[in-house]
Amino acid sequence: MNANEILIKEYEALRAEILLAMTSRNTILSYGLAVIGVLYSGVAAMAVAKVDTLLPSIVLMLVVPSVCLFSLFIWLGEYQRMHRAAGHIIQLEERIRDNAGDRILTWETNLREKKKHMRYPYDTTILMLVLISAFSQITGYYLLNNVGVWILIVCLVPLIVIYVYAISRMAELRNQII
């Protein structure tokens, strides 16, 4: 087996890892949203049963945002794994082109050079999970009635910080050119 054949095998393995990371991201998001749906259903059932508002408020203000953020950070880990593999593929494409003396295997290189990486699916996913968290916290606060607004502020500020962190981390990863 010559050097290019070995590089092609590595290229194929990294492509498979990227596909696995993409599938994992979708699975993580699906399970996270399913759990959130179950939690909201539980809160709705408690409301119909006229259960005390403390338990539904705790679920909405703490549990739902925790599931959202847990899902978000695992999802971001898979995004970073995909991005890391793509960066290494760029290096492999360059080495294979140098060895072959031809303009072959250019997919990742072209995506990076021409800045064709799609931002909106990733940014929208982050925004969706943060908005679900915020909506949940506001709804939980509303159920508590006579509690000070400081509780809502204390709950929402970390969400804003996490949102800014997640978006900036993704932008940082996108801008890395290996």
Three-class SS state of 104? coil
Alpha carbon of 169 to those of 79, 126, 139, 148, 154: distances in Å?
Answer: 11, 11, 29, 33, 23
- Looking at residue 146, what is its pLDDT? 63
How much is the pLDDT for 176?
A: 67
| Mean pLDDT in order along the chain per 10 residues (178 residues) | 84 92 95 97 90 85 91 91 87 82 74 71 87 90 77 80 82 67
pTM: 0.80
- Residue 114: how many CB atoms within 10 A of its CB? 8
Calpha distance 112→37 (Å, rounded): 37
Sign of the CA dihedral with 64 first, then 69, 74, and 79 last: positive
Q: What is the pLDDT of residue 117?
A: 66
SS3 168: helix
Q: For residue 79, give every residue at least 6 positions away whose Cβ sits within 8 Å of its Cβ, in sequence order, or none.
A: 21, 25, 122, 170, 173
What's the token pair of residue 13?
A: 């393995």
Which letter does DSSP use for residue 50 in this model? T
Cβ-in-10-Å burial (0-12, 13-18, 19+) of 10 comes to: middle
The DSSP output letter for 147 is S
Phi, psi (5° rounding) for residue 40? -65, -40
User: What is the C-alpha separation between 130 and 68, in angstroms, rounded?
Assistant: 7
Gyration radius of the chain's alpha carbons: 22
Q: What is the pLDDT of residue 147?
A: 72
